């Protein structure tokens, strides 16, 4: 995906690297914007990852955290996603704990996933 992203831009301000949220390879206060799109649920330590996001952001910088946060996901906390922030309330607590101001939540409409069933011609 990094190669695909690099091929779509020649903007020298953009960088694409492989890494983990808990150990961002950037200097303190070096970013204006950090974006995480549908990876937050997979971070090993969400609190540490958010602290890293806060560390690399300049004062007044923004974190855009996009993932699945819903009361409907509460049952997953008992089994497969124990300890993860699957609701806005839990994510808000982690964000505040990492040093962010109270987040401004926005409802987003996700792309509908479709499936194709095809039969092979004889």
1-28 pLDDT per residue, tens: 888 888 989 898 888 888 899 999 999 9
Residues β-bridged to residue 64: 35
**C-alpha distance from residue 1 to each of 31, 96, 113 (Å):** 21, 31, 20
The CB-side HSE value for 39 (13 A sphere, CA atoms) comes to 13
Residue indicated by tokens 């969400």? 46
Fold of 2-97: Rossmann fold (3.40.50)
Q: pTM of the predicted model, to two decimals?
A: 0.75
pLDDT digits (tens, 9 = 90+) for 56-105: 989 888 888 887 776 555 555 556 565 666 677 888 888 889 888 888 88
């Amino acid at each position: 995906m990094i190669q695909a992203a690099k091929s779509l831009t020649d903007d020298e301000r953009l960088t694409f690297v492989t890494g983990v949220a808990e150990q961002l390879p950037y200097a303190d206060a070096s970013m204006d914007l950090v974006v995480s799109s549908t990876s937050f649920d997979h971070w090993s330590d969400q609190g540490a990852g958010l602290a890293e996001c806060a560390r690399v952001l300049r004062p007044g910088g923004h974190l855009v955290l996009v993932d699945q946060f819903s009361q409907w996901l509460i049952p997953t906390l008992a089994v497969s996603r124990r300890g993860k922030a699957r609701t806005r309330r839990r994510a808000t607590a982690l964000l505040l704990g990492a040093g962010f101001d109270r987040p401004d939540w926005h409802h987003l409409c996700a792309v509908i996933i479709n499936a194709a069933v095809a039969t092979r011609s004889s």
